[in-house]
Amino acid sequence: MAGGPVTGHVSPEQLQIVTQILSSDPLNYLWIALLGFMGGTLSGFIGSGGAFLMTPGMMNLGVPGVMAVGANITHKFGKAMMGSRKHGEMGHVDKKLAVFLLITALIGIKLAVWVNGYMFHHLGKAGSSLYVSAFFVLTLSVIGGSMLRDALRTARGTAVGPSKALLNLSSKLRIPPMINFPVAGVKISLWTILFVGTAVGYMAGTIGVGGFIGVPAMIYVFGVPTVVAAGTELFLAMFMGAWGAFNYALAGFVDLRLTFLLYAGSLVGIYFGAIGTKLVKELYIRMVTAILILLCCVSRGLAIPEYLHKLNIISLSERSAQMFELGSKFFLFASGGIATLLIIYWTLKGHIEKQRLVKKYGLISIGEKSLSA
């Protein structure tokens, strides 16, 4: 596999990888759909695509990192398109800001696809998975740790949200030209926008997760209101997803079977998650997100020794390799499963309590009033 082209060529090995994984165990069809369901539930609940669960989950089933990212970013495109439309109707999308971010985000994605393809063709399946896993652990452990710290501060009453240190810093870096964005209500340096756009694109193209950089960056670096940041990121993700899907497909790294299996689960899960956001405290949402991200990082971290062993960088006994593999799968599917069950439990509990109050006091929610009007 070494020395092969990075893009524009699909090898027979690439075409057979997913076929071999699915045919080796028919239950893998169910596992991938289950990953989609868990990711969709989390997507509706926390406003993210759940890629931090789905990408490593597919890798745990044997899908090379580059193909897991390719399937997930293709899957993300469809969901972002639906979400962006809804936010657009509510006026939560700053299209001007999205266009400026998109310029360098597309460059970042293209670079990420090239690097991922290079790793796959020159270091094989293990090298590709090692690169994606290492990037995953390094970036999301920082994000998850920061989110957990801020949630705990909120729970203790010492803070009401994430630190504004980055916003204060960026407000001092007013390097011309300054661009005004009326919908978001902010004025930002073009250079800051281009830097953030590149970072968002590269992260989305590398591990399929862009919103965890894009949304916080817009809120805590640009000072954009939360609802506008979420809507603008979805609008941006629609084009990033399409561009990422095209480039990964061009390189032969998108298997539509994986994408459709993810959709089969996520379109059901996202319904439960979206309902849960109206019935569960915001602090719980932040804490669940942070803890799950960190557990997914632990899962990817446990998978790294096996990839190093396959690349002959370290030596592991067969038993040790099996233990690392089992631990990685356990942490990912157990944490994702528990988080999903908690969301469904909280949602059902909140719904039952709401119906009890409606029946007892004859209360009608604002949403129901608008529907009956």
Does residue 297 contact residue 141 with C-beta atoms inside 8 Å? yes
With a cut of 60, say whether residue 366 has pLDDT above it. no
The partner residues of 186 in beta bridges, in order of sequence, read 181
Q: b or e along 317-350 (b: 16 or more beta carbons within 10 Å of the residue's beta carbon)?
A: eeeeeeebeeebbebbbebbeebbebbbebbeeb
- What is the band of 277 on the pLDDT scale with cuts at 50, 70, 90? low
Per-residue pLDDT tens for 29-60?
888 998 888 887 776 666 555 677 788 888 88
Q: Which residue has tokens 């030209």?
A: 177
With a cut of 60, say whether residue 1 has pLDDT above it. no
| For range 13-35, the mean pLDDT | 81
Helices then strands, counting H and E runs in the chain, come out as 13, 2
Residue 280 has a CB neighbour count (10 Å cut-off) of: 20
- What is the band of 7 on the pLDDT scale with cuts at 50, 70, 90? very low
| For range 251-278, the mean pLDDT | 78
> Which region among 20-24, 226-230, 320-324, 345-349 has the lowest average model confidence (pLDDT)?
226-230
With a cut of 80, say whether residue 66 has pLDDT above it. yes
Give the global pTM: 0.70
Does residue 22 contact residue 301 with C-beta atoms inside 8 Å? no
Please count the CA atoms within 13 angstroms of the CA of 187 that sit on its side-chain side. 8
* Rounded distance between C-alpha atoms, residue 170 and residue 360, angstroms: 51
- Share of residues in the chain with pLDDT > 70 (%): 76
- DSSP class of residue 179 equals E
Q: Which residue stretches of 225-281 are H helix?
A: 226-250, 256-279
Domain range annotation of the chain: 12-364
Per-residue pLDDT tens for 197-226?
888 888 878 877 666 667 777 777 777 776
With a cut of 80, say whether residue 18 has pLDDT above it. no
- Which residues, 6+ apart, have CB-to-CB distance to 250 below 8 Å? 7, 8
DSSP secondary structure of 143-159: HHHHHHHHHHHHHHTS-
With a cut of 60, say whether residue 2 has pLDDT above it. no
Predicted pLDDT of residue 94: 81
For the chain, the average pLDDT equals 77
Phi, psi for residue 186 in degrees, rounded to 5? -135, 160
> Which region among 129-133, 149-153, 330-334 has the lowest average model confidence (pLDDT)?
149-153
* Rounded distance between C-alpha atoms, residue 82 and residue 266, angstroms: 13
Per-residue pLDDT tens for 72-105?
888 877 666 666 666 566 666 788 888 888 888 8
Predicted pLDDT of residue 118: 87
- What is the band of 255 on the pLDDT scale with cuts at 50, 70, 90? confident
The partner residues of 349 in beta bridges, in order of sequence, read none
- What is the band of 276 on the pLDDT scale with cuts at 50, 70, 90? low
Instruction: Please report which helix (H) or strand (E) contains residue 281, including its range.
Output: none
With a cut of 70, say whether residue 158 has pLDDT above it. no
* Cα 222 from chain centre: 21
Predicted pLDDT of residue 304: 92
- What is the band of 370 on the pLDDT scale with cuts at 50, 70, 90? very low
Instruction: Please report which helix (H) or strand (E) contains residue 32, including its range.
Output: helix 27-46
> How many residues would you count in the chain?
373
Predicted pLDDT of residue 369: 45
With a cut of 70, say whether residue 110 has pLDDT above it. yes
The pairing of beta strand 186-189 with beta strand 178-181: antiparallel
